[in-house]
Structure 1
Amino acid sequence: MSSSRVPATPHNVEQITRIAQDYEYNPAIALKYWLRTANSLVKEAEIYEREGHDEQAYLLLFRHAQLVLVNLVNHPNAKDEPNRQGLVAAEKQVKINIEKLEALKPRINKRYERHRQLMLDRESRKVKSAHSQNDSFQLRNQGLLPDPALSDAAQPLEAGENKELAVKIAQKEINRRATVRRESRQAAISPEEERIRRTGGMWGDWERALGRQDDISHRIQEVRLHIDGPSNGDPLPRQNLATRNANSTYKYPIVPQQRPFNAQTLTVPKSLSQEIDTHPPVRPAKEYIQPKITYEQPPLLPNKITSSAPPVPQKEKPAVAEAPSNQSDLNPSTFTFKPSAYLENGTPLRTVFLPPDLRNHFLALADSNTRRNLETCGILCGTLISNALFVSKLLIPEQESTSDTCETVNETAIFDYCDSEDLMVLGWIHTHPTQTCFMSSRDLHTHCGYQAMLPESIAIVCAPSKDPSWGVFRLTDPPGLKSVLGCKQTGLFHPHAESNIYTDALRPGHVFEAQGLEFETVDLRPGI
């Protein structure tokens, strides 16, 4: 096992809440997309907490509360009947999560204080032992002794160098989660109770503990949710903070009287600014531009705690970990996969591990359509493990196809299935039966909906009759994502002014094919 451990500097709750509030909210985006975003935040927080990443779990749960209670309840579509059930569920989830935030808060602050005190002690010893070459401070500084304040941090790994280990960790964890779901269903636990156990822990009769349903809002207002001002450590600089004095206390948003929920992602801090030389795949000489889909999509929300400076390229040898011989050692909380790529604005992207056999399997399913010159599409679903995203399901939705388009039908069935199986939507795959491998304007607008909900979302294009026959793409950000989100052009075919509106996500990028990574196929098409 590699001894290279470079854990992030701990943050206190005050710093995390500032980061959590740093996201873009646009009320012009349809509420149903924001509700899916909120749902995704809870799912990710649940996994991070289970793996012992308290800071990340706190950030996502706080952001969920902020989004729902401050923004979504005041959304222009909040009173529309189709959204009411979702909003009510979202507020109910916040009430559960507030208890979790209170439980996480002392653990996070304690770790931060331990780290801060260790740094002060180190500085003191450094002064006292300036002429000593063998004291414990120097040994620890060289990585020869463990850092007691950071001993519980996961080992950071390079995704490209540890694909075999990633597959083993994923297989064990995915099987474990499937077993838990199966046992819950066999025990006749309702889907609602299973969701509460999964996302909020078993709190017993929490409504009775908090008082009558009508008094829950009042009870939450009384919960002591103040956070002390910054303690002997500079808070992380942020740009989009709620207006307040730097030394004032902060309270969680107040739960209003009833409103909605059920969703998938947001946007990342703008403070990072690293220029990356990315070039979109070469487009065909006469690009076939497809019709525009009118989307009102949610912006991207940061799902990582990031520093205020651009990432510095690492030149040292990547950390390669030996796969533990004992399956019990494959604990997701033991490892964390480092970001393997960055958006054009410098925001880190978590690694997406992709089964190499998935593409050929999808092409076999699409063969009858391909021979009739009809497009076919599928949804890439998966889960978050050790700070990486693993594609584990290929979902074929009900769809309507032409030679140039493919539209999903009955979106509700897709998201109901993902919720029941505790899956995240990680992107999509589709065919170009006769065209080359590129992202048409229609494809760009379609993918915008995925990437707006999750920054790491990918689009796989299969062009079996052309060379290259496939590619894995994402929108650039900037300018691609915001350009497509803001595109108001009408008509079936239209160009976009930017030349670098999308780029390859596989070579180089944040996507890695991992040999041996298993996946299942679920076909929702009627009669199949």
Structure 2
Amino acid sequence: MAAHARPASSGVPLSVEEIVKQANAFDYDEGIPLKYWLRSANTIQKEAQIYEQEGNDQQTYLLLYRHAILVLEKLGQHPQAKIPPNRATLAAARKVVQRDLAKMEQLKPRIDKRRAIYLEEMGTRRVQDKELQDIGQQDLGGLVDGMSRVSLHSRQRSDGTLYSPKKSLDAGQNQTLAAQLAHNEIRRRDTARRAVRQAGVSPEEEQERRVGGVWGDWEKDLATRGVRDEADQLSRDIVEAGRWRDAVKARHHKSIPSAQRSSSYQYPRIPERSIYELRADLRPLPPGLPPKLPPKAVVPPTEFTPIFPPVKPPKQFKIDSRSEDLAPPPIPGKIPALSSAPSQEPNATDFNFKPSAWLENGQALRTVFLSPDLRTRFLAIAASNTRQNLETCGILCGTLISNALFVSKLVIPEQTSTSDTCETLNESALFEYCDAEDLMVLGWIHTHPTQTCFMSSRDLHTHCGYQVMMAESIAIVCAPSKDPSWGIFRLTDPPGMKTVLNCQQSGLFHQHNVENIYTDALKPGHVFELPGLEFQVVDQRP
């Protein structure tokens, strides 16, 4: 499954039609249990919210459209969709989609406007290039300089702002900035979440409002029949697009034996009670559109320059003959020079981290940042189990910031262990905690007390459940008594993901007759250890 999409371009605005085409380009396998798809849909929702907050309209629209296809057209046809509890869950998910459709109608004109500005700029530049070619080398230097100034002013919009794509950063070369950006953004989000809760909003209502994009009663005044009609039409278009795409693939799909489209392997348990079920019993909020944010006030620059008096030299300290044992006071330090521009904290809306690796099928992988101290902390927690030759596991949780994933929480779930296995218990508590804290599950970490550092067949099947939900998910294996003592891995795709998904072997440990089924995610890969990155340990064990 490839239900999560990366930004398709670097500063090149796409049209709505191009975004829709990319949103449709994902693999759906009904052999994957419905609970995994529901968790994946919930993750897509969280990603869309963050991209929206960061001003990435294109990626927000893509994820919302993909979520709509998944819920409206795919999951309703899933073999497990007719089970009574699942019917209620899907009904709650459809309500979320209906709210998203109105939001998508708001995004469309902004996406079209950005693309129109870009095309206009490119047309201006082509004209300038042609003029340069026509005049040959006559006064070339001066003309280039003049045309550069014309190009700069031609980028100005009618509303006075400039079209400026976010700066793309290399993860490996901007680690200090990445750590500072993560600290600022995580603290900002935590502060906002605490403020909401202090205002008396219940956790259930908070999640309902967050996912639905509703934060007050003003949506009643903005609900119009025209908008609802457009949202309904968009809903129908989404379903028709999915059916058309499936019709093209039908011939190929039927040629695959049914045994290869499902697996008898019992995946690691994901709680049946998804976030949609948490919202299923809540009263529906009135439909409508959120109001547009007012434009930021622009303070015009002034000609005023502060004038400071000259710094006087320090007075000479005269030592009295009666107090020769006293030391002179310290000389005051120099007044720092005034900067021409005030220093600013890095903002998530200003940057995008470029993908740092790709799957074998060509899909880009966003960078995953984690603290190098995380393994040390985890091994200290697992030490008592390790001495008893028992495995220990933890869950890597975090968030999305500037198109990169940051591990900010190490959650130790309730679990039961043997020398070769570790099973999580009460997973509902884990996922309810993640939903309450707006966390994404980015992977897992576990020990091999006596074995070497590798991914067993059991580990591969367990990790497949994580990577199905998010392509960037990682598995960290710690083998403290061996060399190497640790590693960070992911399944290859292909052939690893398909092999494990289609595996029908029932034994706890078995061989997969495929080479290159998993690979290192760290050297080289999409994972970077980020010194100074803060994280918290949450131990849910009794």
Q: Note the alpha carbon deviations across 1:13-34, whole angstroms, 9 max, x for none.
A: 1110111011111122211111
Report how far residue 93 of structure 1 moved. 1.1
DSSP-derived class of the 2:81 partner: coil
Q: Is 1:482 equivalent to 2:498 in the alignment?
A: yes
Q: Are 1:42 and 1:61, in contact at CA under 8 Å, matched by a contact in 2?
A: yes
Q: Are 1:354 and 1:513, in contact at CA under 8 Å, matched by a contact in 2?
A: yes
1:188-203 matches, cutoff 5 A: 188-202=200-214
DSSP-derived class of the 2:423 partner: strand
Q: Is 1:243 equivalent to 2:251 in the alignment?
A: no
Counterpart code for 1:372: Q
1:259-270 matches, cutoff 5 A: none
TM-score by length of 2: 0.74
1:52-451 matches, cutoff 5 A: 52-130=55-133, 131=135, 133=140, 134-135=142-143, 140=148, 151-202=163-214, 204-205=216-217, 220-221=228-229, 223=231, 243=244, 293-295=265-267, 328-451=344-467
* Structure number with bigger Rg: 2
Counterpart code for 2:507: G
CA-atom RMSD, angstroms?
A: 3.1
Report how far residue 328 of structure 1 moved. 4.4
How high is the sequence identity, in percent, across the aligned residues? 59
Counterpart code for 2:16: V
Report how far residue 446 of structure 1 moved. 0.4
Report how far residue 145 of structure 1 moved. 8.8
Report how far residue 441 of structure 1 moved. 0.4
Q: Note the alpha carbon deviations across 1:59-92, whole angstroms, 9 max, x for none.
A: 0011111110111122222221332342222112
1:373–1:111 CA distance, 2 compared to 1 (3 A):
same
Distance between the aligned counterparts of 1:483 and 1:18, measured in 2?
28
Distance between the aligned counterparts of 1:422 and 1:98, measured in 2?
22
Q: Are 1:102 and 1:225, in contact at CA under 8 Å, matched by a contact in 2?
A: no
Q: Is 1:496 equivalent to 2:512 in the alignment?
A: yes
Deviates more, 1:458-467 or 1:408-417: 408-417
| Structure 2 segments unaligned to the other structure (5+ residues) | 1-8, 246-263, 271-340
Report how far residue 392 of structure 1 moved. 0.1
- Structure-2 residue corresponding to 1:281: none
Equivalent position to 2:19, from 16, 20, 45: 16
Aligned length: 434
- Structure-1 residue corresponding to 2:258: none
DSSP-derived class of the 2:349 partner: helix
Q: Note the alpha carbon deviations across 1:406-447, whole angstroms, 9 max, x for none.
A: 011112111111000000000000000000000000000000
Q: Are 2:11 and 2:166, in contact at CA under 8 Å, matched by a contact in 1?
A: no
Q: Note the alpha carbon deviations across 1:100-158, whole angstroms, 9 max, x for none.
A: 101111000100111112222222232233136344699659x9999558733111010
Distance between the aligned counterparts of 1:414 and 1:83, measured in 2?
20
1:147–1:430 CA distance, 2 compared to 1 (3 A):
farther
Q: Are 1:18 and 1:241, in contact at CA under 8 Å, matched by a contact in 2?
A: no
Q: Are 1:77 and 1:83, in contact at CA under 8 Å, matched by a contact in 2?
A: yes
Distance between the aligned counterparts of 2:268 and 2:50, measured in 1?
28
Q: Are 1:296 and 1:485, in contact at CA under 8 Å, matched by a contact in 2?
A: no
Report how far residue 210 of structure 1 moved. 9.2
DSSP-derived class of the 1:425 partner: strand
DSSP-derived class of the 1:330 partner: coil
Deviates more, 1:431-440 or 1:13-22: 13-22
Report how far residue 241 of structure 1 moved. 6.9
1:87–1:243 CA distance, 2 compared to 1 (3 A):
closer
1:95–1:226 CA distance, 2 compared to 1 (3 A):
closer
DSSP-derived class of the 1:243 partner: helix
Deviates more, 1:342-351 or 1:144-153: 144-153
Report how far residue 463 of structure 1 moved. 0.2
- Structure-2 residue corresponding to 1:520: 536
1:137–1:72 CA distance, 2 compared to 1 (3 A):
farther
More helix by share: 2
- Structure-2 residue corresponding to 1:261: none
Q: Are 1:21 and 1:242, in contact at CA under 8 Å, matched by a contact in 2?
A: no
Deviates more, 1:131-140 or 1:121-130: 131-140
Q: Note the alpha carbon deviations across 1:476-527, whole angstroms, 9 max, x for none.
A: 111111111111112122111111001100111100000000000111111x
Report how far residue 400 of structure 1 moved. 1.0
Counterpart code for 1:181: R
Q: Are 1:451 and 1:457, in contact at CA under 8 Å, matched by a contact in 2?
A: yes
Q: Is 1:39 equivalent to 2:42 in the alignment?
A: yes
Q: Are 2:370 and 2:407, in contact at CA under 8 Å, matched by a contact in 1?
A: yes
- Structure-1 residue corresponding to 2:527: 511
Report how far residue 372 of structure 1 moved. 0.4
Q: Are 1:122 and 1:137, in contact at CA under 8 Å, matched by a contact in 2?
A: no
Report how far residue 242 of structure 1 moved. 5.4
